Amino acid sequence: MKERLSVAFVAERQIPPAPPPAKTGGVVGWLRENLFSGIFNTVATLLSFAFVAYVLASVVPWLFLDSVWNASSLQECRKIDDGACLAVINERFLQFVFGFYPDGLRWRPVLAFALMFIAIWPALFASAPRKLLIFTGLYPLLAYWLIWGGSFWGPVGVLAGPVLGWACVRWLPGLMRGWLDERLVFLAAVGVGLLATVLWWLFGVTVFDDTLSAVLAVDLDSVESARLGGFLLSTIIGVSGIVGSLPVGIVLALGRQSNLLIIKACCVGFIEFIRGVPLITLLFVAWLLLAYFLPPGTEFDLILRVVIMVTAFASAYMAEVIRGGLAALPVGQYEAADSLGLDYWKSMQLIILPQALKVSIPGIVNTFIGLFKDTTLVIVIGLLDPVGLLQPIRADQNWNGIVWELYGFIALFFFIFCFAMSRYSMHLERNLDVGHR
Amino acid sequence: MKLKTTLVAATAAVAVSAAAQGATLDDVKAKGFIQCGVSTGLAGFAFTDSNGNWDGFDVTFCRATAAAVLGDANAIKFTPTTGKTRFTALASGEIDVLYRNTTWTLSRDVDLKFDFLGVNYYDGQGFMIRKDMGVASATDLNDATVCIQTGTTTELNLADFFRANNMNYDPVPIETNAEAQQKYLANACDVYTTDASGLAATRATFENPGDHIVLPEIISKEPLGPLVRHGDNAWGDIVRWVMNALIIAEEKGITAANVDSMASASTKDPEVKRLLGVEGNYGEMLGLAPDWAIHAIKTGGNYGEIFEKYIGENTAIGLSRGLNQLWTKGGILYAPPFR
Ligand SMILES: N[C@@H](CCC(=O)N[C@@H](CS)C(=O)NCC(=O)O)C(=O)O
């Protein structure tokens, strides 16, 4: 039975939730909110659409509908259709990829490139099996051997140098202990280790190589540096620069913060010197002037020289980026590390660097991308990266006058590489949750 | 300007020490290849073909040299050089010979300490403009913006020419020919000036060559030829005589096709016999094999054949022989006697 009520209406049940008005929800709502909210935005949206449509209307037919893939010269292309003459890329593709690398041996750089992904996998993704790191460590030598060829024992000999040095640092202190002042022991061991490494490289490697080759020769046809070019060259310089500059940059950044005067002065001097000189000058030095500082008759591979210069250059910038990260940490972090009784290396390794590097990720990747694009500068020293290859290709009578197709192709290559790097950096930032929320 | 002074100073310092090294021929034989400097890409003169090999007028001279010295036209390492880097590269020993549209001048010969070994192309500096500019003579170019390659003789000629005619210009300095093309086509400059051969080559690469004209004035002498470092005369002699051999071959009607039959003694001409090593020991004098000239000629034919193949009237570049005709046919191409 119902009671009489003093109010006119009472809801007896909850009104079911209605969908939001069509104007504010769904596609229409999204459009209204994001594209057409207000007069100004509406106009801007329409203009942008018009612009995109205009660009697509000319690019799509040019690139896809009217393009020519098979022709042997620009004139032939123009006769077939008036779109992009992609035949030039079709014909010169391998040249762009390998430069002048000998025909029959091209599987070697390809293999090296494929192995590179296995090598960087554990470095990039925490989910990869840790054992692979050993492969990562050995990869540079393997890649060098695959690309340049020659005797397998050469690179192995080179690797043996640092191993020897490390062995000195590891075991010499124990041997020297009773004889030397405790504080000097470590320093002396490092000195001996460095000396041993350098001496081994100067004199030991050849003997080592010759001896082992006599026992068991493992040879690949050797390929001189002048034959490397195109994307292969950019990738070699870019990847070695990237891989080398991070550790060197970290060391420099730490050195710059060090309390040891000489170390600090060296690091500051190096960083400021390198940053004060344009890369192009460094490349020039590597190309022409370095020969005068080396003993006459030394064969010092040009690409190796360039890689060293590019790495040095990027390291200086890297050091400053990482210094920014170090400076961003509150002093309390350093004090906390100290109060736990950690020594310098442990505190850096466990507490300071993980945080500082995390903060610096955008800057680090920025430097990587810059470095990768800077590899195109090697044209001034007579190495033909993709941009350098473009000029002699365009000077071929068959392809006289072709511009957009080639530049577009190279731009696409660089875009893919750089975009991948920036995506990876975002992935990393998200995973490590950098924001101090 | 400062960079340039530094570069030249470095070049000079480098040249002194490199000259002391000498014996390029031994080096080359030990290495098994010649290092040749070419341009970074100039239609007809230096370019890469569809197999990714270097080819072109200057490149073929390099190859002929390699063939003469090592018996293999591919025993060669090419280094592309810009107008600015070419001399430093040669002085430092990064290259053994420079074949890059380079003008023989006193200061380069004497001050930069190089040896020029002759002329493989007699050229002169010209101007290219867009047809619709409506200018018919270079003397009407007052206040024009001019694209000009840095580190070249053309840079200096241009200044002289405009000063002598009381005109002003706006220079747009650029590094390579490819960059110049882009700038010129993008209207960043009204005029592109360089060697007339280079202008013809550049114009041939345009989509509509007809829209551009090369003005009639030639404002300088540009004898282009190969050069090597000072102080290694034996090596210089080889490069010089390979080039001369190709010119003499044209005089004598020796071609890539008939050189073998000519050598196999069907000829009576004593100079041909000497050239092809049938008689005398001229190869030995140079430190080369007796059949060096045969190898050189087989590479790309005689001078005339090379010219016609890469830059002659039937190519897109379409240069006429002009001054570069043999002296017997009204040109000034004149090789010293082979004896
Ligand atoms: N002959 C002049 C100019 C040489 C020059 O730079 N020529 C241009 C155009 S003809 C060239 O070869 N460019 C090719 C390149 O940029 O690599 C010189 O020796 O200074």
Mean per-residue pLDDT, B244-267:
91
Atom of ligand 1 nearest to the CA of B149: 6
Q: Which of A375, A367, A383 is nearest to A410 (CA)?
A: A375
SS3 B38: strand
Higher-confidence residue of A248 and A431: namely: A248
Q: What is the pLDDT of residue A2?
A: 54
User: What pLDDT was estimated at residue B3?
Assistant: 46
DSSP 8-state symbol, A178: G
Tell me what pLDDT residue A291 has.
67
Residue showing tokens 């540079």: A140
Query: What pLDDT, on the 0 to 100 scale, is given for residue B250?
Result: 96
- pLDDT for res A123: 85
Give the H or E element holding residue B60: helix B57-70
Residue A155 pLDDT class (50, 70, 90 cuts): confident
- Alpha-carbon gap, residue B37 to B82, rounded angstroms: 10
Closest ligand 1 atom to B102 CA: 19
- Is the pLDDT at A232 greater than 60? The verdict is yes
Lowest-confidence region among A111-120, A125-134, A177-186, B189-198: A177-186
Q: What is the ipTM of this complex?
A: 0.81
The predicted structure's pLDDT at residue A319: 96
**Residue A297 confidence (pLDDT):** 60
Poorest-pLDDT segment among A147-156, A210-219, A321-330, A419-428: A210-219
What tens digit of pLDDT does each residue of B100-114 get? 999 999 999 999 999
At A246 the pLDDT is 93
Q: Which residue has the tokens 């690179």?
A: A155
Distance CA B114, CA B228 (A): 6
Residues B279-293: tens digit of each pLDDT = 899 999 999 999 999
- Whether B13 has a pLDDT exceeding 50, the answer reads no
Phi, psi of A29 (to 5 degrees): -60, -45
* pLDDT given for residue A23 in this prediction: 73
Say how many CB pairs under 8 Å bridge A and B.
Answer: 110
Q: Do the Cβ atoms of A401 and B45 come within 8 Å?
A: no
Of ligand 1's atoms, which has the minimum distance to the CA of residue B81? 17
DSSP B244-278: HHHHHHHHTT--TTTHHHIIIII---HHHHHHTTS
> Do the domains B125-220 and B2-122+224-329 match in fold?
yes
B25 neighbors B238 (Cβ within 8 angstroms): yes
Q: Which residues of A touch B56 (CB under 8 A)?
A: 395
Mean pLDDT of A365-372: 94
Question: How many whole angstroms separate alpha carbon A39 and alpha carbon A52?
Answer: 20
* Residues composing chain A: 437
User: According to the model, what pLDDT value does residue A200 have?
Assistant: 87
For residue A74, the chain B residue with the least C-alpha distance is B207
Q: What is the pTM of this model?
A: 0.83
DSSP-derived secondary structure for A290-319:
HHHHSPTT----HHHHHHHHHHHHHHHHHH
Nearest to B50 among A91, A99, A289 (CB): A91
Sequence-separated (6 or more) residues with CB below 8 Å from residue A230: A95, A96, A97, A98, A99, A384, A385, A386, A389
- pLDDT at position B283: 94
Return the pLDDT at B14: 46
What are B36's strand-pairing partners?
Answer: B78, B97
Q: Is the pLDDT of residue B243 over 80?
A: yes
Counting residues of chain A whose pLDDT is more than 90, the rounded percentage is 43
- What single-letter amino acid sits at A283? L
For residue A220, which of A144, A160, A157, A159 has the smallest C-alpha distance?
A144
A403 Cα–ligand 1 center, Å: 20
Nearest atom in ligand 1 to B42's CA? 14
- As a whole number of angstroms, the distance between CA B141 and CA B161 comes to 11
Phi/psi at A150 (5° precision): 90, -160
DSSP string, B279-338: SS-HHHHHTS-TTHHHHHHHHH-SHHHHHHHHTSTTSSS----GGGSBGGGTS-B-PPP-
- Ligand 1 centroid to Cα of residue B100, in Å, is 7
Residue A193 to residue A163: CA distance in whole angstroms? 9
Over residues B56-71, mean pLDDT: 97
Q: Which of B87, B99, B100 to mutate to test the pocket of ligand 1 (most atoms within 8 A of CB)?
A: B100
Q: Pick B14's closest partner by Cβ from A288, A384, A390.
A: A288
List pocket residues of ligand 1, CB cut-off 6 Å: B 39-42, 82-83, 101-103, 149, 152-154, 176-177, 194-195, 198, 222, 224
Q: List all residues of chain A from 86 to 115 with a beta carbon under 8 Å from chain B.
A: 91-92, 94-95, 98-100
User: For position B2, what pLDDT does the model report?
Assistant: 45
> pLDDT value at position A295?
65
Task: Please say if the pLDDT value at position B20 is more than 50.
Answer: no
Give the C-alpha separation, A254 to A249, whole Å.
Answer: 9
**Whether CATH 3.40.1260.10 fits B125-220:** no
- pLDDT exceeds 50 at position B15: no
Q: Which of A399-403, B23-27, B47-51, B148-152 has the lowest mean pLDDT?
A: A399-403
Domain positions in chain B: 2-122+224-329, 125-220
Residue of B101, B123, B203 to mutate, ligand 1, most atoms within 8 A of C-beta: B101
In this structure, the residue with its CA closest to atom 9 of ligand 1 is: B198
pLDDT 10s digits, B120-172: 999 999 999 999 998 989 999 999 999 999 889 999 999 999 999 999 999 99
Integer Cα distance of B108 and B110 in angstroms:
6
pLDDT at position B6 is 46
In this predicted structure, the answer to whether residue A159 has a pLDDT above a threshold of 90 is: no
* Residue of minimum CA distance from atom 6 in ligand 1: B83
Query: Residue B123 contacts by C-beta under 8 Å, 6 or more apart in sequence?
Result: B101, B103, B195, B196, B197, B222, B223, B224
Fold for domain B2-122+224-329?
Answer: D-Maltodextrin-Binding Protein; domain 2 (3.40.190)
Q: What are B36-52's pLDDT values in tens digits?
A: 999 998 999 999 998 88
| Residues A285-294, mean pLDDT to the nearest whole number | 76
Asked if the Cβ–Cβ distance from B10 to A289 is below 8 Å, we say: yes
pLDDT of residue A434: 53
Q: What is the 3-state secondary structure (H, E, C) of B137-182?
A: CHHHCCCEEEEEECCCHHHHHHHHHHHHCCCCEEEEEECCHHHHHH
Q: Does residue B257 carry a pLDDT above 70?
A: yes
Which residue from B minimizes the CA distance to A404?
B182
CA dist., res. B327 & res. B316, Å (int): 26
State the average pLDDT for chain A.
Answer: 87
| pLDDT classification of B336: cutoffs 50, 70, 90 | very high
Higher-confidence residue of A205 and B296: namely: B296
Tokens of B208: 């509509």
Please state the atom number of ligand 1 nearest to the C-alpha of residue B176: 16
Compute, in angstroms, the gap from residue A209 CA to the centroid of ligand 1: 45
Using pLDDT thresholds of 50, 70 and 90, give the confidence band for residue B8: very low
Which tops the pLDDT comparison, A14 or A297?
A14
Inter-chain residue contact B78 with A397, CB threshold 8 Å: no
Q: Which of B61, B56, B63 is nearest to B41 (CA)?
A: B56
Contact criterion met (CB below 8 Å) for B61 and B226: yes
Mutate which of B175, B177, B218 for ligand 1? The one with the most ligand atoms within 8 Å of its CB, which is: B177
B16 touches A at CB < 8 Å = no
pLDDT at B1 over 70: no
pLDDT tens digits for range A121-137: 888 888 888 888 889 98
Q: Name the residue among A137, A124, A125 with its Cα closest to residue A163.
A: A137
Coil vs helix vs strand at A219: strand
In the prediction, which pLDDT does B17 show? 45
**B309 Cβ under 8 Å from any chain A Cβ:** no
Higher pLDDT: A21 or B296? It is: B296
Question: Under CATH, to which class is A95-101+226-432 assigned?
Answer: mainly alpha
d(CA B255, CA B307): 13
Concatenated DSSP letters for B89-145? HHHHTS-SEE-SS-B--HHHHHTTTEEE---SEEE-EEEEEEGGG---SGGG-TTEE
- Phi, psi (degrees; rounded to nearest 5) at B46: -155, 120
CA nearest to B35 within chain A: A226
Residue ID of nearest Cα to ligand 1 atom 13: B177
Which of A177-191, A306-320, B23-37 is least confident?
A177-191
The DSSP 8-state label assigned to residue A5 in this structure reads -
Going by C-alpha positions, the residue among B80, B77, B47, B53 that lies closest to residue B65 is B77
Q: What is the pLDDT of residues A92-110, one digit of tens each?
A: 999 999 999 998 899 999 9
Measure the CA–CA gap between A120 and B276, rounded to whole angstroms: 59
**B65-75 confidence digits (pLDDT tens):** 999 999 999 99
Chain position carrying tokens 């050797």: A222
**pLDDT for the residue A287:** 84
What pLDDT was estimated at residue A298? Answer: 64
Tell me the three state secondary structure of residue A81: coil
Label residue B304 by pLDDT band (50, 70, 90): very high
Confidence of residue B19 (pLDDT cuts 50, 70, 90): very low
